[in-house]
Structure 1
Amino acid sequence: MIMTKIKIAVSGDVCTNVLTWRTFNKNTKGYKWENSPYVHSITKEGGALLLSKLVSLACEDTVVSPKLTDTTCELPKELLQSSSELDLFSVTGEENDYHKVYRVKKFLGYSGPVSGKPELLPIVNDDENADMVIIHDEGNGFNSDEEFWPLAMKSSTTAPVIIYKLNNPTIPSKLWNQIEKYYMENTIVVIDADDFRAQGVNISKSLSWERTAIDFVWQINNNPNIAFLADCYHLIIHFGVEGAIYYHKTNTTAQSQLFFLPYAFEGDSIKENQGKMYGLSSCFVAGLTANLASGIKNKEELSRSIKEGIRSGIVATQKYFINGFGENVEARDFPSVSIFMEKDNDFIYKENVQDVNIRSTTQDCQSCWYIIKDKTSINLAEISYNIVKYGEQSALKFIPIAQFGKLKTVDRTEIEAYRSIKNLITEYVSTKSVSRPLSIAVFGTPGSGKSFGVTEVASSIAPNLIVKLDFNLSQFQDLTDLTNALHKVRDVSLMGKIPLVFFDEFDSSFQGKLGWLKYFLAPMQDGVFRVGDSIHPIGKAIFVFAGGTSSTYRQFCGEDIEDKSEYKQFLSEFKDAKGPDFISRLRGYVNILGPNQTDIKWDQLYIVRRAMLLRSLIERKTPYLIDASGEAQIDNGVLRALLKVPRYKHESRSMEAILEMSRLTNAMKWEQALLPSKEQLRLHVDEEQFYRYLMYDSFFSEKTDRIAAALYNNRALLCDNNRETKQFNEIKWENINEEVKTYIYNQIRHIPGALNKINYELMSVDEQPENIKFTDKEVEILAEFEHDRISLEKKEAGWKYGVNYDEDKKTDPMLISWANLDRYYKNHIIDSIMAWPESLAKSNFKIEQLRTLCYCETQMKLRNN
């Protein structure tokens, strides 16, 4: 029998929150004091009192907890009391959003009890048989005072599900020891990430979800400060209102799972102009509780309920923050039950919250784990096609994507670098008094977009404050040019703006190798430059040093040099040029990857970067090629060539040039005929390779008959000698009926897509390639795919399952799932698949492996095989 209700006991450290805010009376009549700002004040529940209220709203169950009879009456003097100042803030934080609600403007502090120890309150109508216990532990005495613990936690014979909301994860307390001794297996520990970090747990913030997740795994396995938490069966670390990590341990293994919003990173959802809210962690726990309570009633596995509860918790905290205290703090119940209800046209749903298992990685692997690889069942090439065709929002719905102004990226390396730069610039812009510029270095090949990326990042922070200036040092003739440039920088600063100064090709020669570096040391360190006997302060400025001869930071520092004697010579010259002094003044750097593959071993996302750049170019330069549904009208051959050509000679400039050179002014679709000539293409790509990808469909179509005949004949050699198959294969290709030919033609047309399913692609080559051999697992995948494709085609044509094959009745015994298919029919399809490699090779088509794993993963896979 399914339970209809359960009993939940909530307790812990308690406090009240005194909220104050001002309103302005514009009425000039009446008493003089009425023309002054009016200060309002109200007291709301806090701590375990607020938590119990949220749990009551989230669940339809019986909740017992401490109670205050009336917050408007005089409260116990020993009760802990916090004070906050409220103000009206934009709901969404957008400039054009005039809808405002009250949120916290400033936390003012606590009014502590005279004795020092805050008063605790007993649970009203406590029950030792409570099914769930929720503890709010802020380190204010509850964890050491057994008198106020829920009765269900004082008995060694009870086994409630416990949610332990821990705000101060330090040395284990008396309460922790009790839990560890009797209740550990059914306890879910919930900690806010910032509380976690406050204890010396070094988890990166707001760089990338991958980095945050990997940092957590390392810390939980190696940090002695939190070693006691590694013994938790269930541990949840929640990151703001955007994500959480669920650490689940059994007797033999430990697995960590990341839950995240793909369109936001930690801290992104709450803007500076939106204020703050207390109680976010409590709201998260309330959302979690609702799912756990439902799971208990339905006897669901605890870990499964937790995972759904995390999604609910993230959604609830988002709504809780957006609602704030409402438009009228006194007139509205707080909190609102609506934050736990799903409504039409909600701005967030549980389905928006994605999850992925966190991989264990080694430090030697530079790109071991990308969420984009784990969250998609298709290969990177197909993802890239979809990005260009349908846009990032559609193609990357479940993938973390970072956006800075017009710049979008899904490459974890770029995300982390750009967000690091953004954090630096944000901190610098918000600092009132600074004595020197913020210095950042940017490296990348010419045309990779060094200027564009950093400009968009800076503009996304303070678009009305930042003014961009560009200077190319390779064009400077002497020091006067640099002095003039710094005067222009100073002029912008004196106008109250922040100059974003690009010093392009700062690593070019001047009076010797890296000759400009020494002249930047004083401006970078002291924020001044000298002209004769005069010293001029530069003021607040952001210096961006863009490399011209070095494409990466490692190359600039000589770290890529393997020969010891060569490196020693480089280091000597580097020191003479003041290279180490220059680096010591930098506060950050970023390597811009661009649309070309930077490393065949590690860089597998270059095709995704190309796709996002190409989609951006189409949107900005030829928006008329995108129809009303958002689909880009581009020929498949053109798209394939643009994404697959091995190298662009001038990086992003070449991609842009090919689009601009195409005759698209009055075009409805980017057809092959509208591309520039081969001679013009040669300026930007290897035109022969480009045309090979471009004409892929034509090559394939021309050779369809040859491939079909070879496929038919090769399959005949592979088939067994049963009666039906033998009779079928005794007929020559020229004499078989059109229905069989059509079946084989259809199969051929779908071979490229089928090969993509096992991470292969088809390439047209000049000479006949060697045959490859599919593994048994690959054959099984291809055969099932082929079976599903044929079944769908037949069902759409009106066929249905029947014990016997009957053309008149349109029945076929093969129209069932692959798992239930008779071995005879399975072999029939498998024989056809096995004939693919040789048939394709005879027509000069090479089956080539697609790289979806990074180098070290590939090596590990080979070793395991």
Structure 2
Amino acid sequence: MSDETSPSPNPSVREIELNVGSRQAIIGEAKTISPAFANYVTRNHGFLAHVRDVRDQIETYINKRTARRPLNVLLAAPPGSGKSFLIKQIINSITDKNTAVQVSFEETYIASLESADELFKIFQRVQSLNLEGKIPVVFFDEIDARIADVANVYSKFLAPMWDGTFYVGKEKFFLGKCIFFFAGSGLSLEAESKEAVTRLAKKSKPVQYDLYFQLWKEKFDDRHSGAEFAKQKLPDFLDRIDSVLRIPPICEELLGEQTEAEYDDLACMLIKKHFPAVTLIEKEALDTIRRALKSESSMRTAEKIVFNSTSRIEEEDELFDMSCLPRRHQIIVPSERKEWWKVTIEKPS
């Protein structure tokens, strides 16, 4: 399937008989998951179109012979919503098509810096990677955090973002071609996001992503236009952003009848991420991962459950069932009642 084709609204499903070890005639269903690109799955087609626009912008930038400044992208979403994963899948979808492109993914937590001067070491790292023939993709997380010696770091990014330069003392340096991603908890405006969803859902459901994004962006611009933010140089920082990616919440208002299927896809992909050889997933085990995804504001809880799980081999199949989960998450299900998903991932071509 081409990565320019939207994922099928329904997985390919058919009933089959599975013989798992000594247990015969266990009824399962075949589920095929079609990532939108690389390993990224979403059933929100409006958001997917928005991501593809940004991905095309990134691909155009990468293919330039020279670039006088970075490409700057703001990621707006709460912690644990898969921001760094989305970045990596966007980049992977580009480099998989063009193997000559060498990319170095760098991740910096602003809150972990002891001094704003450490930013200049990161800029020097970007410059060095360019000299090695690699394109630096830098994710600056918690950009709105306070560093010990400064209230905010927005002003430190103004020249690098727009002029592609930085100073060490009085000496001027050029960054070269690079891509900057930024995210900050205070910049995601989750309350405003929820308000936008609720307001639009009163008119019609499911809510179109474009309408949701437009209303959220209006609230975002209004929220950051005051004198307090001007002192922080935040409007100047935001004026240098080339694109904004707002990761939408997973909710019925936006996804309608596809909501549960979205959780199924995410849970399957999470298991396949850590156990790529798994082909059979017990439905009850999958439901445990789904419940964790649904009940928590962050995907990290579900990620931890899968990370601390195991898989097992039975005959020629690698299985993921209740016995693979951490003990505190196991629910005892009689063998004769077990139902399985036979999961395959249809890679974009």
TM-score when normalising by structure 2: 0.69
Within the candidate set 675, 688, 691, 2:325 is matched to 675
Q: Would the aligned equivalents of 1:420 and 1:588 in 2 still touch at CA under 8 Å?
A: no
Output the CA distance in 2 between the equivalents of 1:419 and 1:509.
33
User: Per the alignment, do residues 646 and 481 of structure 1 end up closer, same or farther by CA in structure 2, a change over 3 Å counting?
Assistant: closer
Partner of 1:642: 289
Matching of residues 255-294 of structure 1 within 5 Å: 263-265=2-4
Within the candidate set 563, 574, 595, 2:229 is matched to 574
Q: Deviations over 1:411-456 (max 9, x none)?
A: 2133123212211111111222321111111122222221121122
> How far is 1:618 from its partner?
3.1
Partner of 1:411: 44
Output the CA distance in 1 between the equivalents of 2:7 and 2:238.
33
Output the CA distance in 2 between the equivalents of 1:569 and 1:500.
26
Output the CA distance in 2 between the equivalents of 1:577 and 1:472.
19
Output the CA distance in 2 between the equivalents of 1:553 and 1:538.
33
> How far is 1:533 from its partner?
0.9
Partner of 2:157: 520
Output the CA distance in 2 between the equivalents of 1:637 and 1:402.
26
Q: Which SS does the other structure have where 1:409 is aligned?
A: coil
Partner of 1:118: none
User: Per the alignment, do residues 618 and 511 of structure 1 end up closer, same or farther by CA in structure 2, a change over 3 Å counting?
Assistant: closer
> How far is 1:507 from its partner?
1.8
Matching of residues 106-145 of structure 1 within 5 Å: none
User: Per the alignment, do residues 624 and 470 of structure 1 end up closer, same or farther by CA in structure 2, a change over 3 Å counting?
Assistant: closer
TM-score when normalising by structure 1: 0.30
Q: Which SS does the other structure have where 2:299 is aligned?
A: helix
Partner of 1:587: 242
Q: Percent identity?
A: 24
> How far is 1:554 from its partner?
9.2
> How far is 1:588 from its partner?
0.8
Unpaired runs of 5+ residues, structure 1, are 1-261, 267-369, 379-387, 394-400, 627-631, 682-690, 702-865
Within the candidate set 372, 375, 390, 2:31 is matched to 390
Unpaired runs of 5+ residues, structure 2, are 14-28, 194-212, 338-349
Partner of 1:448: 81
Output the CA distance in 1 between the equivalents of 2:132 and 2:321.
50
Output the CA distance in 1 between the equivalents of 2:300 and 2:293.
15
Partner of 2:139: 502
1:621 aligns with 2:274: yes
Matching of residues 444-483 of structure 1 within 5 Å: 444-462=77-95, 463=99, 464-483=101-120
Q: Would the aligned equivalents of 2:74 and 2:241 in 1 still touch at CA under 8 Å?
A: yes
1:602 aligns with 2:254: yes
The structure number with the bigger radius of gyration is: 1
> How far is 1:538 from its partner?
0.7
Within the candidate set 282, 287, 300, 1:653 is matched to 300
Q: Would the aligned equivalents of 1:417 and 1:591 in 2 still touch at CA under 8 Å?
A: no
Output the CA distance in 2 between the equivalents of 1:669 and 1:470.
34
Q: Deviations over 1:53-98 (max 9, x none)?
A: xxxxxxxxxxxxxxxxxxxxxxxxxxxxxxxxxxxxxxxxxxxxxx
Q: Which SS does the other structure have where 1:435 is aligned?
A: coil
User: Per the alignment, do residues 519 and 555 of structure 1 end up closer, same or farther by CA in structure 2, a change over 3 Å counting?
Assistant: farther
Q: Which SS does the other structure have where 1:501 is aligned?
A: strand
Q: Would the aligned equivalents of 1:500 and 1:544 in 2 still touch at CA under 8 Å?
A: yes
Structure 1 counterpart of 2:141, one-letter code: D
Partner of 2:36: 402
Q: Which SS does the other structure have where 2:117 is aligned?
A: helix
Q: Which SS does the other structure have where 1:615 is aligned?
A: helix
Output the CA distance in 1 between the equivalents of 2:272 and 2:75.
26
Q: Which SS does the other structure have where 1:540 is aligned?
A: coil
1:429 aligns with 2:65: no
Aligned residues: 290
User: Per the alignment, do residues 423 and 552 of structure 1 end up closer, same or farther by CA in structure 2, a change over 3 Å counting?
Assistant: farther
User: Per the alignment, do residues 552 and 513 of structure 1 end up closer, same or farther by CA in structure 2, a change over 3 Å counting?
Assistant: farther
User: Per the alignment, do residues 552 and 392 of structure 1 end up closer, same or farther by CA in structure 2, a change over 3 Å counting?
Assistant: farther
Output the CA distance in 1 between the equivalents of 2:161 and 2:132.
20
Partner of 2:345: none
Matching of residues 135-534 of structure 1 within 5 Å: 263-265=2-4, 390-393=31-34, 402-403=36-37, 405-462=38-95, 463=99, 464-510=101-147, 515-534=152-171
Partner of 1:852: none
> How far is 1:264 from its partner?
4.9
Q: Would the aligned equivalents of 1:513 and 1:577 in 2 still touch at CA under 8 Å?
A: no
**Relative contact order, CA 8 A, sep 6+: which one is greater?**
2
Q: Would the aligned equivalents of 2:139 and 2:180 in 1 still touch at CA under 8 Å?
A: yes
Q: Would the aligned equivalents of 1:552 and 1:591 in 2 still touch at CA under 8 Å?
A: no
Output the CA distance in 2 between the equivalents of 1:495 and 1:377.
45
Q: Deviations over 1:618-646 (max 9, x none)?
A: 334324431xxxxx2x2222223332457
Structure 1 counterpart of 2:271, one-letter code: I
Output the CA distance in 2 between the equivalents of 1:527 and 1:569.
25
Partner of 1:758: none
User: Per the alignment, do residues 675 and 481 of structure 1 end up closer, same or farther by CA in structure 2, a change over 3 Å counting?
Assistant: same
CA RMSD of aligned residues (A): 3.8
Partner of 1:739: none
Output the CA distance in 2 between the equivalents of 1:562 and 1:437.
26
Output the CA distance in 1 between the equivalents of 2:150 and 2:46.
30
